Amino acid sequence: MDNNGVGSWLHRRRIKSGTKTAVISGGTSLSYAELADRTAHLANALKERGVGKGDRVAYLGENHPSFVETFFACGLLGAIFVPLNTRLAAPELQYQLQDSGSLLLISAASLETVAAASSRETEVTHRLVVAPDDVTDGSAPTLPSGVEHYDDVMASASAAPPDEAVTLDDGAMILYTSGTTGKPKGALLTHGNITWNCMNTVVDMDLNRNDVALMISPLFHVASLDMGLLPMLLKGATVVLEAKFDAGRVLELVGQYKITTLNGVPTTFQMLCDHPGWSTADLSSLDKLTCGGSAVPQRVLDAYEQRGIGFTSCYGMTETAPGATMLPVSRSKEKAGSAGLPHFFTDVRIADPLGGVAVQGEVGEIQISGPNVIKEYWNRPEATAESYSDSSWFRSGDMGYQDAEGFLFVSDRIKDMIISGGENIYPAEVEAAIAELTAVGSVAVIGVDDPKWGEVPRAIVTLREGGSLTEEQLRSHLEGRLARYKIPKSVVFVEEMPRTASGKIRKMDLRKQYAQ
């Protein structure tokens, strides 16, 4: 094939593993050959609707085979895949569609209303809707004019896989990551970024073709997609897709399918071990548990250790596709609190305040380099320039240090990002939405500890003279503007904000006083 990108994977894998089960989703099971065929049909259907190399195709939906098919169909055409977070509000989705310039939107039938609203006043010219899995008799819901059924479109297209010339340097996917200025930035991942990240994962997690991964985290998150699904398919293993997380069902599926690999965030692992069925569930097949996002509580670690299961902890970000470091299970006790060693094809260094390399054990900015690190943000040259040091080292914005063996310890975040249940929340975005209220004089959003989600946002607000506002009114204002997980769970009204000499709000002081 002339295609050297990710789009060729299924057709290369068909030769080696055609009859092997690739994807299981509900009552659907697809072999590698079947998945490759469906992807080819879809790619040709997209091509017939004007999608070509470099064009953007967005997807809005839960974990489902159509997500996988759309990703690989884009790869076959050299088009750029844009996965959208289903938890976002219509205005947030509309911004991402506008910013990416997506020409086509594929969405789940359950999200048709928000898909229609978010695609208005954008460059989207075609919309496809994926019918629910229980629709098998042709009775799919009636759609608005100009909107087509996904399966009908796929069935009408040619089965011959297109062979577009695609290189590892070509763009493959745009993933939106919230910025400190309040507007999300699109991280442009190339085919090479994804490929090398998957190679890192295969090598450092010792994946093999007999592994079975249960995808319990949304595929629109980079960790679930690039460290869960894609490495497994590259290796010829099997993935089981779950649209919604339910702890009891996950425990059942682990035993049913003899799941070996599970990726998640601390909240999901905590909910599993807190479930009444935990003690009797068959977990004997599990041997690769990967957790990222934030530290795992000790009691959760203990619960899994009692079942003979250890964790692999990871550190990374969207811009590193996403792996930067990984802590092997064999060193998890000895190096408790560490984010691990750099991935096999990735380098990590600590920079001192002057931009030089910090001495061992000194805290500085964590910087990452390697073929998995993005080269640019989508249409954001200034943000791109600000994010790199010495042209090849990505500035994470996080603080940390490395010990004598090179193990990374993350000590603090330069950025004020809040991680709530694995979801990234950037206070600037929430603050901007709250500031739209005329009664608000100033606002700062901080993270506070939460036993379930790790952190949740809290708003600290001062009111204008004569202004009146309640917590309920503030939260009501944000409904529909922001995803629910971004809306502050509590609001504290204060007379004045602590500020620096230059007038900036001192969030450190706010955290000390109001983060409990």
In a domain, 172, yes or no: no
Kindly report, residue by residue over 176-214, the tens digit of the pLDDT. Answer: 986 545 689 999 999 999 999 999 999 999 999 999 999
Phi/psi of residue 402, nearest 5 degrees: -115, 140
Burial 273-311 (b: 16+ CB within 10 A, else e): bebeebeebebeebbbbbbbbbbbeeebbebbeeeebbb
Strands 323-327 and 341-342, sheet pairing = antiparallel
Together in a domain, 155 and 233: no
Could you tell me if 282 and 230 lie in one domain?
A: yes
d(Cα 242, Cα 218) in Å, to the nearest integer?
9
How high is the pLDDT of residue 426? 82
Whether residue 430 sits in one domain with residue 395: no
Residues 475 and 367 in one domain: no
Question: Do 435 and 404 fall within a single domain?
Answer: no
Q: Which of 393, 413, 433 is the last residue of a domain?
A: 413
- Do residues 501 and 388 both lie within one domain? no
Q: How far apart are CA 314 and CA 365, in angstroms?
A: 18
Specify which residues 253 forms β-bridges with. none
**Domain edge (last residue) among 395, 413, 431:** 413
Quote the pLDDT of residue 94. Answer: 98
Mean residue pLDDT across the chain: 93
This prediction's pTM: 0.89
Half-sphere CA count of 474, side-chain side, radius 13 A: 29
Name the nearest CA neighbour of 263 among 63, 455, 451: 63
Q: Which string of b and e fits 19-43 if b means at least 16 CB within 10 Å?
A: eebbbbbeeeebbbbbbbbbbbbbb
- Contacts of range 496-499, beta carbons closer than 8 Å, 24 or more positions apart: 496/462, 497/442, 497/444, 497/460, 497/462
- Say whether both 197 and 283 belong to one domain: yes
Identify whether residues 98 and 143 lie together within a single domain.
yes
Q: How far apart, in whole angstroms, are the C-alpha atoms of residue 495 and residue 502?
A: 19
Cα–Cα distance, 227 to 261 (Å, whole number): 11
Taking only the tens place, the pLDDT of each residue in 305-322 is 999 999 898 999 999 999
Task: Give tens-digit pLDDT for 410-430.
Answer: 987 777 789 899 888 888 889
Q: Judge if 308 and 261 occupy the same domain.
A: yes
Tell whether 202 is covered by a domain.
yes
Cα 296 to the chain's mean position, in Å? 18
Coil vs helix vs strand at 191: helix
Helix, strand or coil, per DSSP, at residue 326: strand
Positions of the chain with pLDDT lower than 50, given as ranges: 136-137, 180
Tell me if 359 is assigned to some domain: yes
Res 142: pLDDT? 77
401 plus 294 within the same structural domain: yes
Question: Residue 435 sits in which domain range?
Answer: 418-514
214 and 276 in a single domain? The answer is yes
In a domain, 362, yes or no: yes
Please, are residues 60 and 84 in contact by the beta-carbon 8 Å criterion?
yes
Of 398, 413, 428, the domain-final residue: 413
> What is the rounded CA–CA span in Å between residue 262 and residue 250?
10
d(CA 22, CA 19): 9
> Do 156 and 200 share a structural domain?
no
Q: Check residue 450 and give its pLDDT.
A: 92
**Strands across the sheet with 288-291, in order?**
28-31, 21-25, 238-241, 212-215, 261-264, 288-291, 311-316, 323-327, 341-342
Cα dihedral: 49, 55, 61, 66 (round 10): 60
Q: Is residue 21 a part of any domain in this protein?
A: no
The CATH number of the domain holding residue 121 is 3.40.50.980
Contact indicator for 210, 192 with CB cutoff of 8 Å = no
Domain count, the chain: 3
Q: What is the CATH number of the domain that holds 475?
A: 3.30.300.30
> What CATH number is associated with residue 262?
3.40.50.12780
